[in-house]
Amino acid sequence: MTDIPSIPLHPSLQKLGAVHRRRLRLLSLLLFLVFAGTLLFEMVIAFTSQDGTNLLLLGLIGLLMLPLVALMGGLMWYLDHRLSRSLNTANDLLRDCAPQTFRLTPIERASRDGVLATLHPLTDRSPTEPVHALINPSFRWSAPPRGEIEVRLYCRELKPGNELVALQPDGVSLLGKAVDRTAYDRQRRMLRIAALVLLGAALIGIWVFGGVER
């Protein structure tokens, strides 16, 4: 299932690749057990009751499972492709880019998007201004640091949106991307406002339709 790169993974990424493959296998096994268990349960009911309605229901469930299995297969492929591409991109950065020394300082608690951190340059070749980065965006590769650490940073160019790899002193890689702090905060505010609007609309709808029924 996993797209295995033609170039071997960097040693710091091999553990992440193993975790990726193991999680995909477990997820595939879980989905198989759910579908197989549901179908087996309906088969037992249909054949023990010998009722035509249950047999029709079994056939209907079987037909519904075909597109569900195809959909789950497509989602698994997309997840595998996206994670494998992230690993391959990180592998390219570690192979092609010269490392720069930065001090990585988390400035917010971990959220669904990752950990927002500040990168302070420690070498003359690095940018003079601190850079903001989002560590572990979207997918949790490895546990983010809880405090300030010194890392070797691999990135083609520290501009918002560009992916990066921060190599910790223990050899574990942190995958992330550079972000613009202002744009990142604005995006999160808009998401909060949208969530509040949807929640308010749902509450108003419940109140209005509940009052009409009474």
pLDDT, average across residues 29-49: 80
Q: What is the pLDDT of residues 79-134, one digit of tens each?
A: 888 888 888 888 999 988 888 899 998 887 777 778 889 998 887 665 567 788 98
Is residue 44 very low, low, confident or very high in pLDDT (cuts 50, 70, 90)? Answer: confident
pLDDT at 48 over 60: yes
Q: What confidence score (pLDDT) does residue 60 get?
A: 78
- pTM score: 0.69
In degrees and rounded to multiples of 5, residue 155 shows phi and psi of -160, 140
CA 66 to chain centre: 26
* pLDDT band (50, 70, 90) for residue 153: very high
Helix (H, G, I), strand (E, B) or coil at 143: coil
DSSP state of 97: S
- Average pLDDT, rounded, for the chain: 80
Which residues are paired to 150 by β-bridges? Answer: 103
Distance between alpha carbon 25 and the CA centroid of its chain, in Å? 16
Binned at pLDDT 50, 70 and 90, residue 210 comes out as low
Instruction: Locate 109 and state its tokens.
Output: 């608690």
Is pLDDT above 60 for 137? no
